[in-house]
Amino acid sequence: MMEEPTVFVVDDDPSVRRSVVRLLESAGLRVEGFPSGEAFLERETPRGPGCVVLDVRMSGMSGLELQRRLHATGRPMAIVFITGHGDVPMSVAAMKGGAVDFLLKPFDDEALLAAIDRAIGRDRGWLHEQQELEVLRARFARLTPREQQVFALVTTGMLNKQVAARLGTSEKTIKVHRGRTMTKMEAGSLADLVRHAERLQVTAWNLDSK
Amino acid sequence: MTAPKDTLTPALPAPSGPVERAFGFKRLLEATQIVQWEADAQTRDFTYVGSQAERLLGYPLARWLEPAFWRTHLHPDDLERVLRFREEALREHEAYEFEYRMVAAGGQSVWFHDVVAVQRLDGVAAVIRGFLIDVSKRKRAEATARASAARVRQLIEQAPDAIIAARANGQIAFVNHQAEHLFGYQSGELVGGQIERVLPGQLTRQHLEVPGEQPGAVGPMTVGGSEPATARCADGRTFPAAVNIGRLETDEGLVVVTTVRDVSREVEAEQALRQSEERFRMAATLGADIIAEVNILTGGVVWFGNVDEAMGFERGAFPRTMDGLREQLHPDDRSRVRRVIARDVFERWQAVSFECRMRAQDRSYRHWTVRAAPRSDGDSRPKTFVGVCSDVTEQIVARAEALQHRDALAHVARVSSLGELTGAVAHELNQPLAAILSNAQAAVRLLDRAAPDLRQVGEVLQDIVADDRRASAIIQRLREMMRGESPSRERIDLCSVVREVREIMRSGLSMRGIAVLSEFTSDLSAVVADRIQIEQVVVNLVTNAMQAMEGLSEARLTFRVFQRGDGWQVVTVSDTGRGIAPPMLATMFDPFNSSREGGLGMGLSISRSIIEAHDGEMQAEHLSTGGATVGFALPPARDDRR
């Protein structure tokens, strides 16, 4: 979890790329440089935390295009844009696409490092959430179909009696299912269980439709 | 010797017997100009001659009785005719009369009327008796009449017009040579024919009949009133003619004397005039042009074509005088038009053409081109001018729009190319700048380490040098581009430059509700500069001012063009915006220095590059009243500085 982060620098200008890589390395970061968006996409998806320092205007794939592609891969890395000449529409598009910052060249090292720091922090948070979600999914998978039904209905705020009526069984049986579900999902209270349900996006509706 | 006629009075004794009666006749005859005579029919010599004979020819009576007196005193021109006539008459007639001349003692000719009776004996003429009557007076009168008739004839022949004399029945009695020539007849061909032949249907009873009792009815008359009559030639061709008729009462009855003059040329000229007037009206009515006929003397104007409608006036309300028209002229055009008219119309009497603006009823101005030419009746000074006025407002508006359109396009092209240039320059320049900064900061970090890797730091420094060189190469290239793009230097009027920019930016300014004021000093000398570049600077100033006033309710932009004390010319743009913070004043012309969020701060720095390339200087001022004044000053043209 506390794996060392990597900064991916994508800029088609070799001298800029080399200087930025050098600067970040001198700041003690692990850095990889790429001359184009295409080259970066060819690399295997990084598992550990990281961020992309991305030039907006490049020959070939533009920075904004690369941003859209990364989103589609399911590993949306935090991006710090750098540009030699930017306008308002360009920066708006970048920020809407989830960019952490939009820096005009030439930029100060502190500004860049701060932005990278924020970006890596966000990426760590994203990774953490992804890992938590994996745990919850594993627990949910261990529930019996009946327990999953009870889990979905109880987290909508229904009383045991109502759930029993809905599932055509006794209130006592529901009570037993509910107890097992709480244990398996490692929920200490109904509130915990509701939170898990939200993150798993489990609802009565999508259970019914299954 | 002879008693006057009035002495034949009753005082004389009345004759009572044959002798007395004969004596009485003798006395009577002797008292007259009549000479009684008797001659032998065989010898033809007088046997008796009345005593008055002495007085008639101046010869004594005895001479008359000498043999062959009569024959030897006949006028030689008459001799042969008279003798032949007498011999014939003596043979065949009992009585005859004839007229002849005899030569008097003084050598003069005397005309006699001789009345003769023949007495025969056995069929042979024996005695002839007769009376000689002096008819010289009558003959002279006749000769005079003949001579004057000849003179009249001569006059008629010499008259320039054709003259035809006809009798009351329309028969031609006499024509002059001109008439024959005019109508194309041979000499003498017309006489005896009907006057109808040459003037068909022209002469009526009124002309040919004997005038009644009204006095003066015999005076001259014209045929057909003011319209010309139709005359016909021998070959059937007709022509318009002016016909005058005079009537003479003579012994032979009424004679109608007709004077005929060919007026084809006058009629043609008149028709041509009428046609051209008609064309005038046609052209005018068709609406393209309006035609004015101006009377120079009175200043009155007659319009052909509907000028009232064209100018939006009530019928007849558009001015009909020169003075009135002057009032409708655009004030800026008045003196120019007056000058042109005074010189070309009044002094030179020549055609003139000019453009002017005429005020319509709705107070808008219509653009007219006027082409005017004098209309002269002869050699005299022309009294009228005819002007064709074409309304070219639509063309002018279209032209102005095209011009504006072109300016707008040029402006868009200029601004967008500058925008692109700025973007490209920024991008190009920012790459090495970013690399330099990052490298330098990396080097600082490397050196901060406990054991700095100096070889690595050296590499970094080499990169910095390379990027710095790259940056200056970019700037060099940019300079060359700017120089190469507009190498032009011309004498320009800064006021006109500012006016042009004001026109280009007008719609943008008014869209933002910005009021525009202008203070131009007139009569500024020219400066030598690149018009396009200076315009670009002014555009930048206006753009900045507009942005400084964005969203303000009271926005006002003031252009000023004036001359500084040292002769430099200054253009400033003032706004009522937020003004310039004092720290900004020092750096505002540097690149990348923008007070606006997202602004690149290139506008003023490019402006400064341009102005400095013109040896001028930028200036900026924060106004205590709020807002800012930004502008530039250019040195005077070199000629003016000397």
Q: Are B221 and B245 in contact, with CB atoms under 8 Å apart?
A: yes
Q: Which tokens hold the place of A137? A: 């999914």
Q: Which tokens hold the place of B544? A: 């900045």
Q: How far is A98 from chain B (nearest CA, A)?
A: 20
Q: Are B387 and B292 in contact, with CB atoms under 8 Å apart?
A: yes
Q: Are A111 and A70 in contact, with CB atoms under 8 Å apart?
A: no
Instruction: Assess whether pLDDT exceeds 70 at residue B201.
Output: yes
Contact A111/B at CB under 8 A: no
Q: How far is A43 from chain B (nearest CA, A)?
A: 25
Interface test mutation site (partner B, options A16, A17, A102, A103, max chain B beta carbons within 10 A): A16
First to last CA, chain A: 35
**Looking at the structure, do residues A106 and A183 belong to the same domain, yes or no?**
no
Q: What is the per-residue pLDDT for B480?
A: 63
Q: Is residue A172 part of a domain?
A: yes
**Looking at the structure, do residues A97 and A186 belong to the same domain, yes or no?**
no
Which H helix or E strand runs over B563?
strand B556-563
- Number of domains chain A contains: 2
pLDDT tens digits along B277-335: 666 665 555 555 678 888 878 888 888 777 888 888 888 889 999 888 888 998 888 88
Give contacts of B 390-449 with A, CB under 8 A: 423-424, 426-439, 441-443, 445-446
Q: Are B255 and B166 in contact, with CB atoms under 8 Å apart?
A: yes
Q: How far is B436 from chain A (nearest CA, A)?
A: 8
Instruction: Assess whether pLDDT exceeds 90 at residue B339.
Output: no
Q: Are A6 and A30 in contact, with CB atoms under 8 Å apart?
A: yes
Q: What is the mean pLDDT of residues A3-20?
A: 92
DSSP A35: S
Q: What is the per-residue pLDDT for B484?
A: 47
Instruction: Assess whether pLDDT exceeds 50 at residue B216.
Output: no
Q: Are A2 and B422 in contact, with CB atoms under 8 Å apart?
A: no
Compute chain A's Rg from CA coordinates. Answer: 23
Q: What is the per-residue pLDDT for A209?
A: 40
Instruction: Assess whether pLDDT exceeds 60 at residue B359.
Output: yes
Q: What is the per-residue pLDDT for B599?
A: 45
Is the preceding omega at residue B200 within 30 degrees of 0, hence cis? no
Q: How far is B500 from chain A (nearest CA, A)?
A: 29
Which residues of chain A lie closer than 8 angstroms to B431, CB-CB?
13, 15-16, 84, 105
Contact check, Cβ <8 Å, A13/B598: no
Name the nearest CA neighbour of B99 among B64, B127, B137: B137
Nearest to A106 among B433, B443, B445 (CB): B433
Strand runs labelled E in B107-252: 109-121, 124-134, 162-167, 172-175, 221-222, 229-232, 238-250
* Cα–Cα distance for residue pair B119/B80, rounded to 1 Å: 24
Give contacts of A 5-64 with B, CB under 8 A: 13, 15-16, 18-20, 22-23, 25-27, 57
Q: What is the mean pLDDT of residues A56-64?
A: 86
Chain A residue with Cα closest to B602: A85
Instruction: Assess whether pLDDT exceeds 50 at residue B5.
Output: no
Which CATH number characterizes residue A205's domain?
1.10.10.10
First to last CA, chain B: 130
Interface confidence, given as ipTM, is 0.76
Q: What is the mean pLDDT of residues B429-456?
A: 90
* Cα–Cα distance for residue pair B323/B334, rounded to 1 Å: 11
Which of A132, A158, A186 is the endpoint of a domain?
A132
Q: Is residue A192 part of a domain?
A: yes
Instruction: Assess whether pLDDT exceeds 70 at residue A153.
Output: yes
Nearest to A22 among B434, B439, B467 (CB): B439
If pLDDT is split at 50, 70 and 90, which confidence band does B205 have? low
Which residues of chain B lie closer than 8 angstroms to A94, CB-CB?
none
Q: Is residue A160 part of a domain?
A: yes
pLDDT tens digits along B25-71: 666 666 667 888 999 888 888 998 888 888 888 888 888 988 889 98
Contact check, Cβ <8 Å, B442/A104: no
**Looking at the structure, do residues A18 and A121 belong to the same domain, yes or no?**
yes
Specify the range with the lowest mean pLDDT, choosing from B88-92, B272-276, B370-374, B540-544: B272-276
Contact check, Cβ <8 Å, A87/B598: yes
Q: How far is A19 from chain B (nearest CA, A)?
A: 5
Instruction: Assess whether pLDDT exceeds 50 at residue B414.
Output: yes
Q: Are B352 and B292 in contact, with CB atoms under 8 Å apart?
A: no
What are the φ and ψ backbone dihedral angles of A164, each rounded to 5 degrees?
A: -60, -45
* Cα–Cα distance for residue pair A95/A79, rounded to 1 Å: 9
DSSP A13: -
**Looking at the structure, do residues A162 and A87 belong to the same domain, yes or no?**
no
Name the nearest CA neighbour of B258 among B184, B183, B191, B175: B175
Q: Which residue has the higher pLDDT, B88 or B405?
A: B88
Q: What is the mean pLDDT of residues B370-381?
A: 72
DSSP B15: P
* Cα–Cα distance for residue pair B244/B221, rounded to 1 Å: 6
Q: How many CB atoms sit inside 10 A of residue B316's CB?
A: 9
If pLDDT is split at 50, 70 and 90, which confidence band does B213 have? very low
Q: What distance lies between CA B343 and its chain's CA centroid?
A: 17
Q: How far is B638 from chain A (nearest CA, A)?
A: 41
Q: How many CB atoms sit inside 10 A of residue B568's CB?
A: 17
Q: What is the per-residue pLDDT for B215?
A: 40
**Looking at the structure, do residues A124 and A146 belong to the same domain, yes or no?**
no
What are the φ and ψ backbone dihedral angles of B131, each rounded to 5 degrees?
A: -125, 135
Q: Fill in the amino acid letter for B606.
A: I
Q: How far is A59 from chain B (nearest CA, A)?
A: 13
Which H helix or E strand runs over A195?
helix A190-200
Which residues of chain B lie closer than 8 angstroms to A88, CB-CB?
598
Q: Is residue A137 part of a domain?
A: no
Q: Which residues pair with B559 in a beta bridge?
A: B518, B573
Contact check, Cβ <8 Å, A18/B463: yes
Q: How far is A181 from chain B (nearest CA, A)?
A: 55
Q: Which residue has the higher pLDDT, B590 or B257?
A: B257
Q: Is residue A1 part of a domain?
A: no
* Cα–Cα distance for residue pair B547/B472, rounded to 1 Å: 31
* Average pLDDT score over chain B: 78
Interface test mutation site (partner A, options B430, B433, B447, B462, max chain A beta carbons within 10 A): B430
Task: For chain B, give the number of residues.
Answer: 642
Instruction: Assess whether pLDDT exceeds 70 at residue B252.
Output: no
Instruction: Assess whether pLDDT exceeds 90 at residue A158.
Output: no
Chain A residue with Cα closest to B442: A23
Name the nearest CA neighbour of B112 among B168, B34, B181: B34
Residue A189's domain spans which residues? 142-209
Which residues of chain A lie closer than 8 angstroms to B462, CB-CB?
none
Which of A94, A113, A132 is the endpoint of a domain?
A132
Compute chain B's Rg from CA coordinates. Answer: 60
How much of chain B, in percent, has pLDDT values that exceed 70?
Answer: 77
Contact check, Cβ <8 Å, A106/B445: no
Q: What is the per-residue pLDDT for B633?
A: 94
Q: Is residue A36 part of a domain?
A: yes
Instruction: Assess whether pLDDT exceeds 90 at residue B571.
Output: yes
**Looking at the structure, do residues A23 and A117 belong to the same domain, yes or no?**
yes
Contact A88/B at CB under 8 A: yes
* Cα–Cα distance for residue pair B323/B305, rounded to 1 Å: 20
* Cα–Cα distance for residue pair A26/A103, rounded to 1 Å: 20
At CA B288, angle to CA B285 and CA B290, rounded to 5? 65
Q: What is the per-residue pLDDT for B164?
A: 84
**Looking at the structure, do residues A15 and A110 belong to the same domain, yes or no?**
yes
Which H helix or E strand runs over A32?
strand A30-34
Q: Note the maximum CA span of chain A.
A: 74
Contact check, Cβ <8 Å, B598/A88: yes
Q: Which residue has the higher pLDDT, B491 or B605?
A: B491
Which CATH number characterizes residue A92's domain?
3.40.50.2300
- Helix A190-200 / helix A145-154 crossing angle, nearest 10 deg: 110
* Average pLDDT score over chain A: 87
pLDDT tens digits along B469-494: 888 887 777 666 555 454 467 888 89
Q: Which tokens hold the place of B418? A: 């500058």
**Contacts for B538 with CB less than 8 Å, ≥ 6 apart:** B497, B498, B501, B571, B573
Q: Is residue A41 part of a domain?
A: yes
pLDDT tens digits along B135-186: 888 888 888 777 776 776 777 777 777 888 888 788 888 888 888 888 888 8
Q: What is the mean pLDDT of residues A29-33?
A: 95
What are the φ and ψ backbone dihedral angles of B158, each rounded to 5 degrees?
A: -85, -10
**Looking at the structure, do residues A18 and A90 belong to the same domain, yes or no?**
yes
Which of A132, A155, A171 is the endpoint of a domain?
A132
Q: Which tokens hold the place of B109? A: 């000719």
- Helix B454-485 / helix B603-613 crossing angle, nearest 10 deg: 60
Instruction: Assess whether pLDDT exceeds 90 at residue A24.
Output: yes
Specify the range with the lowest mean pLDDT, choosing from A155-169, B106-120, B340-354, B623-637: B340-354
* Cα–Cα distance for residue pair B559/B504, rounded to 1 Å: 14
**Looking at the structure, do residues A149 and A108 belong to the same domain, yes or no?**
no
Strand runs labelled E in B168-263: 172-175, 221-222, 229-232, 238-250, 253-262
Q: What is the per-residue pLDDT for B416?
A: 54
**Looking at the structure, do residues A38 and A119 belong to the same domain, yes or no?**
yes
**Looking at the structure, do residues A21 and A41 belong to the same domain, yes or no?**
yes
Q: Which tokens hold the place of B79? A: 């001799």
* Cα–Cα distance for residue pair B352/B372, rounded to 1 Å: 5
Q: How far is CA B322 from CA A112, B144, B255, B318, B346, in A?
A: 82, 68, 58, 11, 13
Which residues of chain B lie closer than 8 angstroms to A25, CB-CB?
442
Q: Torsion angle, CA of B175/B181/B187/B188, rounded to 10 degrees? A: -30
CB neighbour burial string for B104-127, b if at least 16 within 10 angstroms, e if fewer: eeeeeebbbbbebebeeeeeebee
Q: What is the mean pLDDT of residues B227-252?
A: 79
Contact A89/B at CB under 8 A: no
Q: What is the per-residue pLDDT for B251?
A: 62
Contact check, Cβ <8 Å, A105/B433: yes
The predicted model scores a pTM of 0.37
Nearest to A19 among B426, B427, B439 (CB): B439
Q: How far is B434 from chain A (nearest CA, A)?
A: 4
**Looking at the structure, do residues A58 and A161 belong to the same domain, yes or no?**
no
Which residues of chain A lie closer than 8 angstroms to B600, CB-CB?
85
DSSP string, B105-126: TTS-EEEEEEEEEEEEETTEEE
* Cα–Cα distance for residue pair B297/B345, rounded to 1 Å: 12
Which residues of chain B lie closer than 8 angstroms to A57, CB-CB?
427
Nearest to A16 among B434, B446, B600 (CB): B434
